[in-house]
Each structure stands twice: as C-alpha cells, then as structure tokens.
Chain A
Amino acid sequence: MIRVVLPPHLRTLARVNGELELEVNTPVSQRSVLDALEAQYPMLRGTVRDHITNLRRPMVRFFACGEDLSHESPDAQLPEAIATGSEPFLIIGAIAGG
C-alpha cells in the first residue's frame, strides 16, 4: 500500500482524516499515485493537477523522503521507501498568500 498525505483543505474536500492508503499500479510514480488517488476520490480531480493539461498545479508540491520531487517527470519511479509504504508521499499546498 502507498501512503499519501493530503494538505488540510483537500482532506476536508475528500472527507478523510490523516494519511490515505492506496493500491497503486507498478511502477510506482507520481502519475500512478495520482491516478489511484483520483480514481478513489474523484472530487480531487483537478485540484492537484490540472483537469485539462494533467500538469501539477503551480502552487502544489510533491515531497518524499526529504526530497522535493515536484519537478521530476510524472513517470519517474518514486523512491523505494514510497513504493514499500515505509515513507508517505506528501502533497503540499505551497506556503503563499493569506
């Protein structure tokens, strides 16, 4: 299982508390994690990545294992610790605005 942490506003929108656990197809990548997330929580479509372009929204970041993976290819394999579920995949709302 892949562990995913959503920013607070998206946890409210998806009506979940704490971390999510998702079944994700291999290879585990940003795209496969987000595909699984949106399939299980369709209200999140368009909120993490643009509905039309499928690109990460500008003020959303992806962190994992102490690294900012936001600019990695969506199809790049995520670290082994994410794939095994020992570390969570963090979806972050940028610290900006009020």
Chain B
Amino acid sequence: MGTRKGAFILTSDGARKRWKVSGPHFAGWEIYHIKGSPVNPDRVYASQTSAWFGQIIQRSDNGGKTWNPPGTKPEDLMTPEGTPKGESNMFAYDASPETGKPLTTHQWYDGTQHPWEFKRVWHLEPSLDNPDHVYAGVEDAALFESKDGGKSWDELAGLRGSDTGPKWQPGAGGMCLHTILIDPGNPKRISIAISAAGAFRTDDGGKSWKPINRGLHSQFIPDPTAEVGHCVHRMALHPSRPNTLFMQKHWDVMRTDDAGDSWKEVSGNLPTDFGFPIDVHAHEPETIYVVPIKSDSEHYPLKGRLRVYRSRTGGNDWEALTKGLPQRNCYVNVLRDAMSVDSLEPCGVYFGTTGGQVYASADAGDNWKPIVRDLPAVLSVEVQTLS
C-alpha cells in the first residue's frame, strides 16, 4: 500500500484472518502507487515522490525485500562518458514532431493555456506479458512507458497529441492520468482515464488515441456531454470481459459494454453516486464495488457511516455492506486507487482510507475487519495473491 508517509506491506495466509504489517518503507515520502508484475510477482514497481525532492521510481526484484532506483547501478545504462545515466526518474514530455503533435499547453483553471509540467507518477501498470515493460500515468496528464525495467521512460505522445489536449484541465487534485487498463486479449488496446479530461482508448499500442466519453453527462462543465472535460475518478474491468468497463465519475457510476464507445449510467439506488474507487469481483464479472461519498464538497461518507456498496448485477441494484465498518462518526475518504481485490475463493476485497485504516473482507464484502487502523492517509492499495 502507498501512503502519504511511506509504503506498508500487509501479509496474510489464505485465511486472511491474521496479518503482519511491515513498514514504513521509504519513510516520510509519498508513495502514490506500488504494483507487481502479473508475470513475475517478484518484480514490483513503486512511485516515490516528494514536494521537496521530486519523483523517484523504485524497483524490487525480490518481492519487496530490497529496492533500488533502476538504472543507477554502475552496470546499468551508461553514458558515453562511462557514468550511469540515472534516468529512471526522468519523465520528459515528448516535443519531437516525429512522434506526434508536440503539444505544449493545456487549459488552466482560469481558462488560459498553461504549459505541461511534470509533477509525479500517480499510477504504475506493469504490462501483462513482460516484467520489464511498465506504463506510468503521470501528472500533468500523460502516459509514459518503460521497456527496460524502469531505467528510462518515453512518452506515448499520441495521447496528448490527440487534438483534444488543449481542452484538458486539472481537477482539484491536479491533472492526473490515474487509470491504465490493458485488454488481456489484445494488449494493443489500452484504456486510460484522466481527471478532468475523461477516458481515452488506443487500439494500436499507444500510437493513436480517441476520447471514449459518449454517454457521460457532467453538469459541472458548460456542455455536459462534451467530448472531453469529464472528471473520471476511476475505471475497472474484469479480465474475462475486457469490453465491459465500469467507471466511478465525479458524480455517476457508469458502464460500457463496447469498450467505451458508449456509456450508460448504472448508479441505480445508490444513496449518492459521488465517490472515487470502483472495482470488480475477481470471479464474478458483474459484481462491482463502490464507496459512496456524500458530495464533491464534502469528501466523507454519507451521515458519517462508512459503507461499501456492492452490485451483483453490474450496476443499478446496489446493497450496502456495513458489517465491521464504522457506522457512526466516520468522516474519512477512500481515494481512487485505494481499493483492490484478491483472487482467492471467496474473493477478498480491501480498501484504505484517508484516516489510515485498511479494511479487509475475506468473503466478498459481507464482513469487514480493519487490518490496521492508524497509518498515514492511504493513497493506494494493491493485492498480490501468491501461490
């Protein structure tokens, strides 16, 4: 898990009753995200960041026991002068005319155009077939990839160059690319989401992109059905149905069954359809989870009751999951990358809060217990199910 003050690793056996907590790793630094490679769980990437010292990429090759910034060992990439390049934390926006339209500005809060400025890596998504190939979603919004285990990064510039870039604008949390979904059956198809620009898809491995926001309705922008400008908070898919994506938008829970070509609202009977995370059950592709939050100006649960809502019908019909969760005086938030599921049977569901609690359910959400209660604010939660 990533928190405002370091990373923590929570470990349990298949029963998921007793947990060992280790950390903080990278103490004092913001850890936006940690994620392991699906083909080599010992390969784990971490985004370590600081307002003082900028972005660091860390990599572990032994499941998190030890870490190194890739590309900084003497035997790693060398310059002609014979010194290590140390470029694992260099995210340079592509400005070359050969690789796309070199966009230099996006829309700023006051409506003027503003230069793109790299701030941090929000999300790391290892590829599905190569542990050295990993994608990074960054703020200001762009998609980068590394094919050498994080030693160096190149922008997939076709995304910012897809005509709509100058219309993108930051949300309150910054203009971040926070979701990267790779189609398991066709790795050249990748869907991403940006706050507050919307969702985009490539079908050619990142060369060209198109907005996939038809059906979204956002009352906070002048044209509620505009091509871009939607504040998408999170998207999720089940690997067995890659054309079905679920979305938690600023307001509204949405789904698409045609890979984003059209969306429909599935908020149904949710008490509020504002929220941040959304995730899908590991074994039931129509079972999804959200954490409703009162409103965009009150980032805490409705009536101080922390409730996960589960739909077993792919949306519209939702049930509140409350057992083991605080049902009074709870005013935490659950951030967009702070929910995850394991692949055990029954499916485990996990989420972390801005109050530093991490809750786990070993029965698909029916019952919850806190694994740990007093960590720094939780930014992200990922699960590795190890055999």
Contacts and interface: CB of A to CB of B under 8 A. Distances in A.
Interface residues of B, number: 22
A93 B87 contact: no
Given A9-B28, A9-B29, A43 B72 contact: yes
A44 B27 CA distance: 17
B90 to A, nearest CB: 4
B53 A39 contact: no
A51 B90 CA distance: 6
27 contacts: A7-B52, A12-B27, A13-B53, A13-B69, A38-B86, A39-B83, A42-B71, A42-B83, A42-B84, A42-B85, A43-B56, A43-B69, A43-B72, A46-B54, A46-B90, A47-B53, A47-B56, A50-B54, A51-B54, A51-B90, A52-B92, A52-B118, A57-B52, A59-B51, A59-B52, A60-B52, A97-B51
Nearest to A52: B92
Contacts of B85: 42
Q: Is the interface of A mostly helix, strand, loop or mixed?
A: loop
A96 B92 CA distance: 27
Contacts of B54: 46-47, 50-51, 57
Interface of A: 7, 9-10, 12-13, 38-39, 42-48, 50-52, 57, 59-60, 93-94, 96-97
A76 to B, nearest CB: 23
Contacts of A45: 86-87, 89-90
A93 B69 CA distance: 21
Contacts of B53: 7, 9-10, 13, 47-48, 57, 60, 93
A39 B79 CA distance: 11
A48 B54 CA distance: 8
A43 B52 contact: no
Nearest to A93: B52
Interface of B: 27-29, 50-56, 69, 71-72, 83-87, 89-90, 92, 118
Q: Is the interface of B mostly helix, strand, loop or mixed?
A: loop
Contacts of B90: 45-46, 51-52
Nearest to B81: A39
Counting chain B CB atoms within 10 Å of each CB, the highest count among A39, A42, A45, A48 belongs to A42
Contacts of A93: 52-53
A45 B55 CA distance: 10
Contacts, number: 60
A44 B55 CA distance: 10
A42 B72 contact: yes
Contact of B89 (A12, A51, A57): A51
A50 B90 CA distance: 9
A2 B383 CA distance: 46
A91 to B, nearest CB: 10
Nearest to A42: B86
Q: Which 3 A-B pairs have the closest CB atoms?
A: A42-B86, A45-B86, A47-B53
A60 B71 CA distance: 24
A52 B50 CA distance: 17
B124 to A, nearest CB: 17
Contacts of A47: 53-54, 56, 89
A61 B75 CA distance: 32
